[in-house]
């Protein structure tokens, strides 16, 4: 990655764009503020403020690096989760093959910070974006971009936009999770037709197959394993038919954050093909994990002997109203906390420097700028208390915060993560 571009993030000035940061830090560079090592609780930070745990973040990075290596998987974590180049760098330092992305803007962010390998988990038919990626491939021999295709029409549009390109774009046929699933080709016969269309397009090169097992209808271990075996069989059939002439490696890719254990199981069964196989896992939510949706769904619940991810986010809020014994309000709402896959969880109350469990306190609703709390009899919470909330769904937590403090267990802020949504 680009050391210069990443270093430039530390030169950005702190100002009104970055909520939660100390007002008296305005005018400092991010690097200067980080060097002060302020405390999240006593250093002037204003609520609400989202923080990442330094220790848990590192734990999660190490755990998935180890997991992928143990199972012989290449790893391209989905960058849409954080859209944070600093985290892309750490993921790559922890062994990632590259970064998965979903839309052209995300690719532009990754390229601006020097990501050299991009897996675009979407069919790209926008001519401007295609020509931009093509120009990047022509200008940088070290840049590799792999893109989904899921229709002959999509291939036609790509070929039109890329006519005359000096270097083809690598593509993989996307196999749908099933009828009624999101994107992807529904049947093997249709997959072959899409592959035929790619073969007739000089600006495209077929290098493999891919899909997303999280879209398997009524997903359970049996159905997910069966779909993954269909994906592997598709790669084998394509290879027998000579559809990968001259490729350096054959790409077989799957893996969200809920079934990567199944991916590891089935990808271990991939037979020897005509070229080495890049078994590419794309899970993204692991980097911060969460206290809700993914805490319930993580494959580590099924294979606890392989380790456990740790929720790294905490949203610190402040009680601003206590209108009745059974109700309270804090100053964070839909603008600050994810709510699409469950409401935040009241975890700890902080008063006078002392933290204790948020017993008898439940988040029941979010307004734009408030969380509604139900308080049980005896719940000890007062106006002015800080309330730490756990969150559900990393993707819609990161996107609400352009600059996120990274704090050690004692509250010392050691870094700031810049996001680009």
DSSP letter string, 160-213: HHTTT-SSPEEEEEEEPSSTT-SSSB-SHHHHHHHHHHHHT-TTEEEEEEEE-G
What does the pLDDT read at residue 331?
A: 98
Strands 313-324 and 327-330, by their bridges, are: antiparallel
> What would the pLDDT profile of 374-394 be if each residue is shown by its tens digit?
999 999 999 999 999 999 999
- Identify whether 48 is preceded by a cis peptide bond (ω within 30 of 0): yes
Q: Which pTM value belongs to this model?
A: 0.97
What does the pLDDT read at residue 192?
A: 98
What does the pLDDT read at residue 314?
A: 98
Domains of the chain: 3-53+310-418 (2.40.37.20), 116-283 (3.20.20.10)
Count CA atoms closer than 13 A to 203's CA, side-chain side: 20
What does the pLDDT read at residue 210?
A: 98
What does the pLDDT read at residue 1?
A: 94
What does the pLDDT read at residue 98?
A: 98
Helices 152-161 & 188-199 angle (0-180, nearest 10): 20
> What would the pLDDT profile of 68-90 be if each residue is shown by its tens digit?
999 999 999 999 999 999 999 99
The closest of 112, 94, 31 to 415, measured between CA atoms, is 31
Show the low-confidence residues of the chain (pLDDT under 70): none
């Amino acid at each position: 990655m680009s050391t210069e571009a990443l270093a430039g993030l530390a030169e950005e000035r702190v100002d009104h764009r970055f909520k939660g940061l100390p007002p008296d830090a305005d005018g400092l560079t991010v690097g200067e503020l980080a060097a002060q090592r302020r405390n999240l609780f006593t250093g002037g930070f204003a609520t609400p403020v989202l923080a990442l745990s330094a220790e848990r973040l590192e734990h999660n990075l190490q755990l998935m690096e180890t997991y992928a290596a143990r199972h012989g998987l290449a790893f391209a974590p989905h960058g849409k989760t954080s859209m944070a180049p600093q985290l892309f760098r750490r993921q790559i330092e922890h062994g990632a093959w590259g970064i998965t992305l979903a839309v052209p803007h995300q690719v532009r962010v990754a390229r601006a910070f020097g990501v050299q390998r991009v897996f675009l988990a979407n069919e790209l038919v926008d001519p401007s974006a295609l020509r931009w990626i093509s120009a990047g491939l022509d200008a940088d021999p070290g840049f590799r971009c792999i893109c989904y295709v899921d229709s002959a029409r999509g291939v036609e549009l790509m070929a039109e936009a890329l006519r005359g390109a000096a270097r083809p774009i690598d593509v993989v046929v996307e196999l749908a999770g099933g009828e009624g699933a999101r994107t992807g080709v529904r049947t093997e016969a249709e997959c072959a037709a899409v592959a035929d269309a790619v073969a007739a397009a000089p600006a495209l090169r077929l290098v493999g197959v891919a899909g997303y097992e999280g879209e398997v209808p009524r997903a359970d271990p049996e159905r997910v394993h069966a779909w993954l075996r269909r994906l592997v069989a598709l790669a084998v059939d394509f290879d027998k038919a000579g559809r990968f002439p001259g490729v350096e490696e054959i790409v077989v890719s799957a893996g969200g954050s809920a079934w990567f254990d199944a991916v590891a199981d089935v990808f271990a069964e991939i037979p020897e093909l005509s070229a080495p196989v890049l078994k590419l896992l794309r899970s993204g939510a692991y980097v911060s994990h969460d206290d809700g949706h993914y805490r319930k769904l993580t494959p580590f619940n099924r294979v606890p002997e392989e380790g456990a991810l740790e929720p790294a986010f905490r949203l610190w809020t402040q009680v601003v109203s206590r209108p009745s014994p059974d109700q309270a309000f804090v100053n964070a709402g839909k603008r600050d906390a994810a709510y699409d896959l469950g409401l935040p969880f009241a975890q700890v109350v902080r008063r006078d420097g002392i933290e204790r469990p948020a017993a008898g306190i439940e988040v029941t609703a979010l307004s734009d700028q408030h969380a509604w709390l139900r308080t049980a009899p005896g719940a000890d919470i007062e106006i002015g208390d800080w309330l730490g909330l756990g969150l559900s769904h990393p993707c819609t937590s990161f996107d609400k915060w352009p600059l996120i403090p990274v704090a050690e267990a004692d509250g010392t802020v050691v870094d700031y993560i810049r996001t680009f949504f």
